[in-house]
Amino acid sequence: MDLSKESLLNLNWSDLSWFQHFNTVLSEETALAYFCQVGNPFYDRSSLNEQIYMNNLPAEAMINASGIEYALIHRQDPILFIIRKHYREGPNELRPLQEYYIVAPGHIYQAPDAASVISHRLLTAVHHFSKAFDEASQKAAYHPSSGYYWKTNSSSDDLAKKDSSKEKILTHTQRLRFETIFPNFHDHFRPRAPAGTTAQTTLPSTTTNNDTTATSNGGSGDNNLPRKEERTPSDSQSTTSERPMMEVKKQKTQK
């Protein structure tokens, strides 16, 4: 079985028939031998332990050798045994690589390293935080008349009643904030009076001689006041154009 791409942290291995075959139980004497089985995915067959078993050598032969070695470092009879995988570079030079748990009656787990534990805890915390924020954002709501509130069964009923009412009363905070942002709002946008109340009737700017005579004959005591005749640019142009014609007519009559 190729476990190069599979994480061994989620793997559990056991072979309880091994104890029945040798008629024994999990103990300090059998823990290391039980771990060093060929079918164990956590066991490296190129280790020094495999060389000792294959060549039937004593355990002291590994002291001066160099390579991967498995050793029992802790026991808590009869439920827990810890096997360490280290690299031996001499009699007193050991470099730890990995540790494994053997839990009664014979289940083997790989112990996680500090980086895996911290990353897993951080991912779990971030997941729960994001889930809590999503639920909180769905419960939060805002209404102009009441401000921010949390959605509950009672709050939704109250909000429905407020929406059904036609009168929306601003709070003191809303009024004060409006006057702070727009201090001169009423001065710039005063209401305008209707056009019919302030409109004044005006007479036409152009009047003829007949109109002036009609008003002088049928008017009241204001007829004696001097009146100024108003003319438009079109009237002045018409009078200037009529003068040359009258002069031409006078010359013809004189001839």
pLDDT on residue 210: 47
Q: How confident is the model at residue 213 (pLDDT cuts 50, 70, 90)?
A: very low
pTM score, whole prediction:
0.50
Per-residue pLDDT at 47 exceeds 80 = yes
Neighbours of 87 (CB within 10 A): 15
Tell me the mean pLDDT in the region 70-84. Answer: 93
Neighbours of 207 (CB within 10 A): 15
Comparison of pLDDT for 151 and 14, the residue scoring more = 14
Q: How far apart are CA 160 and CA 141, in angstroms?
A: 13
Q: How far apart are CA 68 and CA 52, in angstroms?
A: 12
Query: Which pLDDT tens digit goes with each residue over 104-156?
Result: 999 999 998 888 889 989 999 999 999 998 888 888 888 877 788 787 765 55
Q: Nearest to residue 80, comparing CAs of 128, 130, 26, 132?
A: 26
